Amino acid sequence: MAGNSEIIAILASGTGYSRWLRPYWIGGIIMATILWFANQYVVPKANVLRGNFEAKYIDANSSYNALLGQSNHIYLRIDSFTYAGIHYYDTLVKRGGPVFLYTVKGNEVVENLRAESIIWDTASRKWKMDVVFDRKLQPMQEQVVQEATRLMNFNFKPSDLTRDKYTKDKLTTPELSRFIALEELRGSEGLNSLKVERYRRDATCVTVILLTLIGAIVAGRKVRGGSGVHLAVGFVTAALFIVTDRFSTIFSTKGDLHPLLAAWIPNMIFLLVVAYLYRKAPK
């Protein structure tokens, strides 16, 4: 249209520039809505297949991962006062042991619970502990209870104990939000990568609208040299966006940049680009 001077004719007929951009607004919003729904629920389900394939056939044969090694000891914070540790936990059979739980109030341990093993009971959907020794400590005495088995209703499930680098990609947004809240309760480190992923699922939808407008404004201007200039500007714009996005992510995961800000910085920058191009566009 720009090459055939059709856009010039549209604007010369009295049609406002904003009116000309309206179809691109509508198309961008429709695509952004589809992408938002896919990011929240569809793509994570597909990433389960991809993550399992890469973990089985790619990472399993990686000499780098073999050199690092993987520990199957798990330490976590169950609630505000209770800390637990599970040794030799097997994610396949959902069993581990021995296990310990410390309940702390102030600077004192008030309960010390130990068990030989812990396993997920699928019937009751609770954790089953075997050979349990429960010591409740008081200032002048202690109470010791020994049980063969005990069912415990902890606030974590076997899926929460699974650790791989694809976890954030496999979880739907509600599951990811719940996982982040649980990891914050445990006091886990390195949560910024999870939070950036959570916020980016919303931010990329706005990115679609911004890049659609940039494409329409740039392509709607007739220039010498044909569409080659438009394609070059498009490639440069996409490359700059990717670089900006990668830099903000690294500053968040490896530094102190807030995850929400890291996810939205590229959109903030390119919002200014859209405003500049809109002002400079011939109307």
Q: Report the pLDDT value the prediction gives residue 183, as an integer from 0 to 100.
A: 79
| pLDDT at residue 66 tops 80 | no
| pLDDT at residue 163 tops 70 | no
pTM: 0.70
Pick from 177-191, 211-225, 234-248: least confident: 177-191
Q: Report the pLDDT value the prediction gives residue 204, as an integer from 0 to 100.
A: 93
| pLDDT at residue 243 tops 60 | yes
Mean pLDDT of the chain: 84
Give the whole-angstrom CA distance, residue 9 versus residue 20.
12
Highest mean pLDDT among 46-60, 201-215, 244-258: 201-215
Give the whole-angstrom CA distance, residue 17 versus residue 282.
9
Pick from 171-175, 184-188, 196-200: least confident: 184-188
Distances, alpha carbon 69 to alpha carbons 54, 93, 152, 188, 260, in Å: 17, 20, 31, 20, 32
Q: Which two tokens stand for residue 32?
A: 């952004």
Q: Report the pLDDT value the prediction gives residue 24, as an integer from 0 to 100.
A: 93
73: left (phi over 0), alpha (psi -120 to 50) or beta: beta
Question: pLDDT exceeding 70 applies to what percent of the chain?
Answer: 90
DSSP state letters, 220-257:
TS--TTTTHHHHHHHHHHHHHHHHHHHHHHHHHHSSS-
Of 76, 74, 58, 78, give the one whose Cα is nearest residue 66.
58
Provide the pLDDT confidence category of residue 129 given band limits of 50, 70 and 90: very high
Q: Are 14 and 199 in contact (CB under 8 A)?
A: no
Q: Report the pLDDT value the prediction gives residue 63, as an integer from 0 to 100.
A: 45
Tens-place pLDDT, residues 14-26: 888 889 899 999 9
202-214: average pLDDT: 94
98-115: average pLDDT: 88
